[in-house]
Amino acid sequence: MKTLRYGFRAGVGLLVMTSMFAVPTVASHAGESPDFNVGVNDASPDGPDPVTVDFDVSYDVRVKNNSGTAETPQIHAFTDGQRFVSYYSKDAWNCFDNSSTGPILRTPLPNTSDVLCDGPVMPAGDVSHLHLVVKAPSETGEFLGVDATETSTDSEDQELTTAQNDQNGDDATGFLPPDGGKISTDGKPTPEDPTNSSIKTFFGSGPGGVFDLHDLAPGDPGYEDICGNGNCDGKVVRVDIPRGYNDEQNPPKLKIVYDETAAGAGEDATIWIKKEGHDPQIVPPCNVNGIANPHPCHGPAHVKRNGDVRYIVYLLSGDPLCGKH
């Protein structure tokens, strides 16, 4: 993984890391005498495990056609999480809410904890991957993430996942699918906890993957004061971004909000970055707001009515750590 960092001389820092993510391709044919083998896991690039309560986690349902002819699989899956959120349409699978036979859309649907998924026609010996995204429970502890059964053969597997609280409200980990999503740390900033952050992706931003978000105070593991000759205001923010987020026109958006007590220079704050092995550098404004050119770059700052200040940084995979002063 490559580590990336951001900082605001008025007081923000950000660390971005990259990880691999790939969606397997699927072939199509026809046949008889089905004989399928099913396996389920939440290993990277799916996951994460553990997952923060109320955040999304992705599962890879691997189906292999062991018969000597081309066959079409069907997966019946259920979860003890809050619901199924989505599936990867590019996997050539089509999933439906088993209770109402309605399709799962990109927007979350309530009570879709039981789904049927029709797969592609698979040649003999072929392997297909169905990725299902689940919203984790609101309570901590181990839960049944996905139980998947191929309906014609009863080949079945399941994966258990641990839901955990963030340790202090300053940490969030979740899977953001290709359709886009958002994770955030604790709520509104306060004088005692002056920094809140969120990372948001959009449809087409990238292939999906696990994102980590951490607001780091001095003394926290991974904290660095990267804001030039002055101390960073508030906390430094670290983000782990998977590979494949390279579209300047549709980049992930990092939002950092500072309490008025950590506002520093406010709208005139300087945003800093620091790559591993290099000195801190100033993050330039975007040539066009919302487009990561150059990257990373920042949009206009905004002072709220209560005195809090919001900053936006547009990132791509491989961009470094950021902070504000």
Higher pLDDT, 68 or 228: 68
Distance between CA atoms of residues 181 and 206, nearest Å: 11
Residue 235: pLDDT above 70?
yes
- State the average pLDDT over residues 104-127: 77
Q: What is the mean pLDDT of the chain?
A: 82
Distance between CA atoms of residues 285 and 246, nearest Å: 18
117-121-125-126 Cα dihedral, nearest 10 degrees: -70
Q: Among residues 64, 41, 209, 39, which one has the least CA distance to residue 122? A: 64
Band of the pLDDT at 108, cuts 50, 70, 90? Answer: very low
Residue 10: pLDDT above 80?
no
Distance between CA atoms of residues 110 and 92, nearest Å: 24
Higher pLDDT, 261 or 222: 261
Distance between CA atoms of residues 145 and 236, nearest Å: 33
pLDDT in tens, 36-50: 999 999 988 899 999
Q: CA angle, corner 285, sides to 21 and 301, nearest 5? A: 100
Residue 195: pLDDT above 70?
yes
Q: CA angle, corner 193, sides to 190 and 194, nearest 5? A: 65
Query: Selecting from 3.10.180.10, 2.60.40.10, 1.10.1200.10, 3.40.50.300, what CATH number does the domain 36-163 have?
Result: 2.60.40.10
How do 281-282 and 297-298 pair as beta strands? unpaired
Every domain of the chain and the residues it spans = 3-21+178-324, 36-163
Q: How many residues can be counted in the chain?
A: 325
Bridge partners for 148 per DSSP: 77, 157
- State the average pLDDT over residues 93-115: 65
pLDDT in tens, 47-57: 999 998 888 89
Residue 9: pLDDT above 70?
no
Given this model, what pLDDT does residue 100 score? 57
Three-class DSSP labels, 229-245: CCCCCCCEEEEECCCCC
Higher pLDDT, 319 or 73: 73
Given this model, what pLDDT does residue 4 score? 40
99, burial (CB in 10 Å: exposed 0-12, middle 13-18, buried 19+): exposed
Residue 20: pLDDT above 50?
no
- State the average pLDDT over residues 122-143: 93
Output the six-digit token pair for 271: 């945003």
Distance between CA atoms of residues 76 and 35, nearest Å: 16
Distance between CA atoms of residues 218 and 75, nearest Å: 49
The DSSP annotation for 57-120 comes to EEEEEEEEE-SSS-B--EEEEE-SSSEEEEE-GGGT-EEEETTTTEEP-SS--TT--EEEEE--
Bridge partners for 142 per DSSP: 162
CB neighbours (10 Å) of residue 1? 11
